[in-house]
Amino acid sequence: PWQTAWQTALGGRCTHPLHVSLQRFVCPEAKRLEQLISALHIATATLPPVQLTAVDIRRFYSAFREAHILKCRVQRDEPLQNLDALVRQVVVANGLHPHYRNLAVLVTVLEGIAKPVSPTPDPLPEPMPLFVGSRMVVSRVTGKEVYDVLADWQLHGSQE
């Protein structure tokens, strides 16, 4: 409902599924990528789902998407930080270099919004639960808004 309300106010299209990109990396070798996916699956097999909570919203122009977008900044709570650290550790242990130095905390909510870019974040009156991250997905970016899902699994305790 909140995503639709923002869409009514700002225009654009809703991003589905809502997700947070914990890490990006380059892995040209198919065998190493398979090993990484296996290691990520093993490392996250017992983790519970993670609640993602928005603390502010940001409107800006995305050169990659060639559109104005709305993102929510997500609260850096302990479960999310632990998951991020674990993913980073597995990426490094498999001889790859993480693209993000710090926890990526922006979730794209709307794309192609009509409202002008805002130079400062719009604070929310109070933290707002966005969604529960219940799945781990490894995907390959193949183009603008085009992703190939390479692996997808449910976190322990998810009710899906």
pTM of the model as a whole: 0.84
Averaged confidence pLDDT in the chain: 88
> Above 70 in pLDDT, residue 109?
yes
Token digits of residue 126: 């109070």
CATH fold for domain 2-154: Cyclic Phosphodiesterase; Chain: A, (3.90.1140)
CA distances from 47 to 1, 88, 130 (A): 28, 15, 19
Place of tokens 């914990």: 22
Write the pLDDT tens digit of every residue in 24-72.
Answer: 899 989 999 999 999 999 999 889 999 999 999 888 888 887 888 999 9
Helical H segments across 11-77, by residue range: 30-44
> Above 70 in pLDDT, residue 82?
yes
What HEC string does 92-116 produce?
HHCCCCCCCCCCCCEEEEEECCCCC
Name the residue ranges covered by the structural domains of the chain: 2-154
Mean pLDDT of 64-82: 90
> Above 90 in pLDDT, residue 104?
no
Token digits of residue 99: 């693209």
Q: d(Cα 19, Cα 13) in Å, to the nearest integer?
A: 15
- Helix 78-93 to helix 30-44 angle (10° resolution) is 150
